[in-house]
Amino acid sequence: MWCVAKLDEEYIARMEDVLKTYEKPLTEREPVVCVDEKPVVLHEDTRPTTPLQQGRVARRDYEYLRCGTANVFCGIEPRQDGTFTKATPTRSSPEFADFLLGIAEHYPAADTIHLIVDNLSTHTRKALVERFGEEAGGWLWNRFTVHYTPNMEAG
């Protein structure tokens, strides 16, 4: 069940910042991208699928072989139809940095990219600097105006 843990000043300020960012007029110079990640379980079929036939739907057996896990980074542009996805073995800082590089490359003419992210420990300037070095990582981080979502932890 989703709930607001504690409505303190920081929570309200972050929520207002995110909502104001969502309300910004759509512009190529300041796109808005929301980023999150999701762990996924990788499955392999253990029996062949019965293909689609006239009058019958394709059939797939419910049994599967578990083949580990992966991560999917996902970015969406809430005011457009744009999406960014990248599957990675984990959700580590270097993989997050590479994902942001791909987003930045998509907007070469942007003055800033408004990035809405949660408070995960990898969503920081440090992740980019460790991956690309101080100069390049700092430059890449500065391409973004970062808007952190409110912290959902109980106080």
For β-strands 64-76 and 83-88, DSSP reports them as: antiparallel
**Higher per-residue pLDDT: 90 or 153:** 90
The whole-model pTM stands at: 0.84
**Tens of pLDDT, residues 60-95:** 888 889 999 999 999 999 888 889 999 999 989 999
Asked if residue 79 lies in contact with residue 32, where contact means CB atoms within 8 angstroms, the answer is yes
Gyration radius of the chain's alpha carbons: 20
- The type of residue at 149 is T
**Tens of pLDDT, residues 101-120:** 999 999 999 999 999 999 88
Asked if residue 147 lies in contact with residue 120, where contact means CB atoms within 8 angstroms, the answer is no
Angle at 128 between CA 127 and CA 134, to 5 degrees: 115
- Whether 140 shows a pLDDT value over 50: the answer reads yes
Please report the pLDDT score of residue 8 as a whole number: 87
